[in-house]
Chain A
């Protein structure tokens, strides 16, 4: 009751029965003094009731079989996509199969999109930093909390460094990189034989689309990558088999995109 001014939003909320309890008396009093608005809000209430009357019947109609089937057929499609990862990977690898240090980058896939561009940059970052002995990362895993908080702040979104110990890789640390349009987070992992895997994270994909797992290979570096709306991820490594890299990428994917 303290605030006597009544806004149009208050009136709409009143018509919808969504007004907080403490505002109701004030709005009711206001409506009592403004019959034109009272009439209008009453008309809104009636329209809402008529709308529900008109369409609520749909709720009781039997659901056409094709709609329930849509979920099942979607499942088949999704499963087929998962099974097709390897085949798709070979295809994309062939399309984008130009050498990292080769002479003709012009053979980049004609349908290359933002995700492919990201994958390429991830491969370059991997090739640049993974051979580093003394300075592979800017902030080490001993300061993991600080690292994640720092990169999250710079990318403007809450990031996570997935735990990959189950697949034999532990966090070395990470760094900030310049991306196409802004900062990029780069996490490095290492197995006990010294093989390194890097996770490249972009938070500015600028698309609402999501792209499921893709695979590409440039030179010796293989990369699995995917896009979850504005977030783009790429997991790269050299000198490990595609199957091993897939299991690492899968472990990261499971944690970064919980089902």
Chain B
């Protein structure tokens, strides 16, 4: 089946987005697995000829929202724990770790918009369709996400620059 092949081809992109969205690798892959199972079971609802990638990211968004809702109790407990316990480092560079942690601190709805625009390089219209929100909301969330992220990174960049640059 054609769609099955295309779903497989899109797995790396789902994983990239999921990794940035939830932080650690195992949780991200769990999210991808749930998404694929659900997408496969719901494939009869996908309209052939429309954008399978956007549809798949919509499925992932819904799965993620449901998972977050289901684990809300756990989350409040984890709030007491150090940040690193929730978002494991991605690589060696201090900058990457800081960026990853900063993204983790963004409100979920802003994070989703920023990542779809930046990583998936979706058009604003595609992001609006994927998340089921008006395009004006996409723009305002994007703006706020970047503003916050910049503020957080500025606070950290002095230290990072001393080590990374020059």
Give 27 A-B contacts (CB < 8 Å), ordered by A residue. A9-B139, A12-B142, A16-B118, A47-B153, A50-B95, A51-B20, A52-B118, A54-B20, A54-B100, A55-B20, A55-B119, A56-B119, A58-B15, A59-B12, A64-B29, A66-B29, A66-B33, A67-B29, A71-B36, A71-B40, A73-B37, A74-B39, A74-B41, A77-B41, A208-B62, A210-B42, A212-B44
Give chain A nearest CB distance to B81 CB in angstroms. 23
For the complex with contacts A15-B146, A16-B118, A48-B118, 18 further pairs of A-B residues with Cβ separation under 8 Å are: A9-B139, A9-B143, A12-B146, A40-B150, A44-B146, A44-B150, A47-B150, A66-B29, A67-B33, A71-B4, A71-B7, A71-B36, A71-B40, A73-B37, A74-B37, A74-B40, A78-B41, A258-B47
CB-based nearest A residue for B103: A51
CB-based nearest B residue for A63: B11
B19 is contacted by which of A47, A52, A58, A229 (Cβ under 8 Å)? Answer: A58
- By a CB distance below 8 angstroms, the chain A residues around B119 are 51-52, 55-56
Give chain B nearest CB distance to A103 CB in angstroms. 39
Interface set, chain A 49-95, CB cutoff 8 A to B: 50-61, 63-64, 66-68, 70-71, 73-75, 77-78, 81
- By a CB distance below 8 angstroms, the chain A residues around B153 are 47
- By a CB distance below 8 angstroms, the chain B residues around A47 are 99, 146, 149-150, 153
Given contacts A55-B20, A210-B45, A67 and B32 within 8 Å (CB-CB): yes
The reply to whether the CB of B84 lies closer than 8 angstroms to some CB of chain A is no
A67 touching B99 by the CB < 8 A rule? no
CB-based nearest A residue for B12: A59
Task: Provide the A206-234 mask, 1 if CB < 8 A to any CB of B, else 0.
Answer: 00101010000000000000001100000
Interface set, chain B 1-44, CB cutoff 8 A to A: 4, 7-8, 11-13, 15-16, 19-20, 29, 32-33, 36-44
The reply to whether the CB of A259 lies closer than 8 angstroms to some CB of chain B is yes
Size of interface on A: residues with Cβ below 8 Å to B: 45
Interface of A is mostly: helix
Number of A-B contacts (CB under 8 A): 117
Given contacts A58-B12, A74-B41, A18 and B20 within 8 Å (CB-CB): no
- A residues with a Cβ closer than 8 A to B are 8-9, 12-13, 15-16, 18, 40, 43-44, 47-48, 50-61, 63-64, 66-68, 70-71, 73-75, 77-78, 81, 208, 210, 212, 228-229, 257-259
Task: Provide the B134-158 mask, 1 if CB < 8 A to any CB of A, else 0.
Answer: 0000010011001001100100000
B90 touching A54 by the CB < 8 A rule? yes
B143 touching A12 by the CB < 8 A rule? yes
Interface set, chain B 78-119, CB cutoff 8 A to A: 90-91, 95-96, 99-100, 103, 114-115, 117-119
Give chain A nearest CB distance to B5 CB in angstroms. 10
Determine the interface band of chain B, counting residues with CB < 8 A from chain A. Answer: 35 or more
CB-based nearest A residue for B97: A54
The reply to whether the CB of B48 lies closer than 8 angstroms to some CB of chain A is yes
Give chain A nearest CB distance to B120 CB in angstroms. 10
A70 touching B40 by the CB < 8 A rule? yes
**What 9 pairs across the A-B complex have the smallest Cβ distances?**
A74-B40, A70-B36, A58-B16, A59-B12, A9-B139, A74-B37, A54-B96, A48-B118, A70-B33
How distant is the Cα of A160 from the Cα of B29 in the complex, in angstroms?
40
- By a CB distance below 8 angstroms, the chain B residues around A74 are 36-41
- By a CB distance below 8 angstroms, the chain B residues around A212 are 44
Given contacts A47-B149, A50-B95, A67-B36, A56 and B16 within 8 Å (CB-CB): yes
Given contacts A55-B20, A74-B36, A229 and B12 within 8 Å (CB-CB): no
A257 touching B44 by the CB < 8 A rule? yes
How distant is the Cα of A208 from the Cα of B12 in the complex, in angstroms?
27
Given contacts A47-B150, A75-B40, A59 and B4 within 8 Å (CB-CB): no
B37 touching A54 by the CB < 8 A rule? no
Given contacts A40-B150, A47-B153, A258-B47, A59 and B99 within 8 Å (CB-CB): no
How distant is the Cα of A40 from the Cα of B37 in the complex, in angstroms?
41
